[in-house]
Amino acid sequence: MRNYLRRALKKAVRTSSRLLSRQPRLSALKLEQLEDRLTPSSVFPFSQPPVLDLLPAYASDRINVVMRSPVGSTAAAQVLASSPYAQTVEYLGLGIYSVHLKAGVSPLTAVAYYSTRPYAVTASVDNYVSIQRDPNDPQYSSQWDMTKIGAPIAWDVTTGMPKFVVGVVDTGIDYNHQDLFMNIWINNAEIPTSIRNTLTDADGDGVITFRDLNHSSNSGKVTDNNGNGVIDPADIFRSTSQGGWLDGVDQDSNGYVDDLFGWDFANNDNDPMDDNNHGTHVAGTIGAVGNNGVGVTGINWSLSLMALKFLDSSGNGLVSRAVMAIDYATNKGVKLTNHSWGGANYSASLAAAISRARDAGHIIVAAAGNSGQNLDSSPQYPASYSTSYNNVITVASVNSSDQLASSSNYGANTVTLAAPGVSILSTVRNNGYSYFSGTSMAAPHVTGAIALYWASNPTLSYTQVIDKLKASVDPISGLSGKVLTGGRLNVGKMFDSTTPSGPKVVDAQWSGSEPFTLDRLRVTFDKAINVNTFTSGDIVSFVGPGGSISTSYQITAVSGGGNKVFDIVFGVQRGAGRYELVLGPQIEDERGNRMNQDGDGVNGEDP
């Protein structure tokens, strides 16, 4: 059943003097101003990270499937066993089955297949976990933010996947940093063919990363040009004549020559090195290498950070360059970018880039800004694009006591949620670490959380990921009326198998202000609705006996209804026959969960 309310009214008329019988039928229901920097921690001298032995993130021979049929059903096991990818099926309890795969079948292929089967609720890879998930990074104890957002709980499920790419649209990244280089994105399409053919994809994930280059299977294939004992970006970011990978050829024909790690849109060259510290700090929160015995940890211990520099050394940049950065990431198939910057003015070109990103299923995470203003009445961009584009997540800043930072912007309609943004320890240039504060520090916590979750659930759409993010916040009383969800990020809850179901319509009553007419529909939801998400734009269609009806709508919450009861008032309808009104599914409850009329556990589905 679709997440729409379908309400049909049949009206039979014999003569104009008789009563009209109404029987409703339910057929279906700028760099934002740079933040305060606290006294930097000491800069660690370079210590050589260990060469990593790659462990698989999930089992290669099985997946887990949650079935709709009764718990322990023999029929369910038989259905799974008869599917094309299954070798054997093991019942794990609580309606969960372990499907052992035939030889050569990729778990991701199997997950994609079973996720679309009508008999399955969900399908997922079987992740490897260990008892101890606190990282051994020496500065981890100073990262209060990681515990606050439930990261250790999430790490019991996954610590990230190297092939998942996050674009950092900022001042660049110090890609040679000892705590970042292993997680720097490599544009595989730009590797010279003669070199690519010699490399081994050590972890078998389909891409070459620095983890692969530092694996024993690639020993001697890439020269340690800087002699520091590891293969890092400095070794390959040099001309082929000097033992590197820069050959002056646009291998992937995207108009950017030798874009190995991203692009510098501020200076229009292929070197997105950070010359400010801001972008490197943001990158560390998202994905500083975890459990490597060095410095700090990111929310993702492993992933790929794409460096998209458009801000100069002073933290200023042009909107046109930000547009190019977003388009670059979108065209590369990247699903997630962080934007810890902002300005006061609306830009049609930036809005168009965000729209293109949305159409590609890409999520934009934006910092709310640091002017202490209500964005609902004083919009700033890109933060305020969240009211127009459902792929934009806007993030406010809280301190360790979950209090909204005094400088943080807010807005019950514009700002999606809050995240830690005060005294955040992360990476800075030249192997350094420092404490920064501001919404620029809050946003990458959300970006990192989305990356960690989406990498483990690759078949989900961007709207499903956002729904999970919003449904998983910790409610904070001081954030009620300040941010849409009324809560602070909790990535641990994102990995909870139970997602709060979105609202649904439980009653609908048609009426007219005059005899033999209709001019309103009163709908009742099962939970309180965020009134700002229920507008005339949520009326998908209105059809009468003569076909589609063009009319205006006025939607108001009924007094005393606790924001559960709403009147939809429309132009007077006098024709006898059947009427149908379709609404949703973007209407949200007060926790930010979209409609779930069919109760299938997936909120906000399109028809």
pLDDT in tens, 114-130: 887 877 877 887 765 43
pLDDT at 5: 33
Architecture label for domain 5-29+504-583: Sandwich (2.60)
Whether 386 shows a pLDDT value over 80: the answer reads yes
Nearest CA to 384 out of 361, 352, 413 is that of 413
Mean pLDDT of 448-475: 96
Confidence bin at 91 (pLDDT 50/70/90): confident
| Whether CATH 3.40.50 fits 59-126 | no
Known active-site residue 27: no
Whether 257 shows a pLDDT value over 90: the answer reads yes
Whether 24 shows a pLDDT value over 70: the answer reads no
pLDDT at 392: 98
Whether 578 shows a pLDDT value over 50: the answer reads yes
Contact between residue 247 and residue 258 where contact means Cβ atoms under 8 Å apart? yes
Whether 580 shows a pLDDT value over 60: the answer reads yes
Mean pLDDT score of the chain, rounded to an integer?
85
Among candidate residues 177, 278, 362, 445, the one labeled active-site is 278
**Interatomic CA distance for residues 211 and 232, integer angstroms:** 10
pLDDT at 601: 52
pLDDT in tens, 293-340: 999 999 999 999 999 999 999 999 999 999 999 999 999 999 999 999
Known active-site residue 440: yes
Confidence bin at 233 (pLDDT 50/70/90): very high
Known active-site residue 278: yes
Whether 342 shows a pLDDT value over 50: the answer reads yes
More confident residue, 574 or 176: 176
CB-hemisphere CA count at 13 Å for 589? 22
Domain ranges of the chain: 5-29+504-583, 59-126, 141-185+261-494
Among candidate residues 386, 440, 456, 501, the one labeled active-site is 440
Among candidate residues 247, 274, 474, 589, the one labeled active-site is 247
**Interatomic CA distance for residues 51 and 73, integer angstroms:** 47
Contact between residue 558 and residue 566 where contact means Cβ atoms under 8 Å apart? yes
Cβ atoms < 10 Å from Cβ of 2: 16
* Residue ranges in 270-318 assigned as alpha helix (H): 278-287
pTM recorded for the entire structure: 0.68
Distances (CA, A) of 490 to 145, 249, 396, 454, 474: 10, 44, 14, 15, 6
pLDDT at 126: 77
**DSSP H or E stretch at residue 470:** helix 462-471
More confident residue, 45 or 400: 400
Whether 20 shows a pLDDT value over 80: the answer reads no
Q: Which residue's structure tokens are 């039928």?
A: 25
**Interatomic CA distance for residues 557 and 531, integer angstroms:** 7
Mean pLDDT of 385-405: 98
**Protein fold of 141-185+261-494:** Rossmann fold (3.40.50)
pLDDT in tens, 144-166: 999 999 999 999 889 999 999 99
Mean pLDDT of 509-525: 89
Contact between residue 274 and residue 172 where contact means Cβ atoms under 8 Å apart? yes
**Interatomic CA distance for residues 572 and 587, integer angstroms:** 25
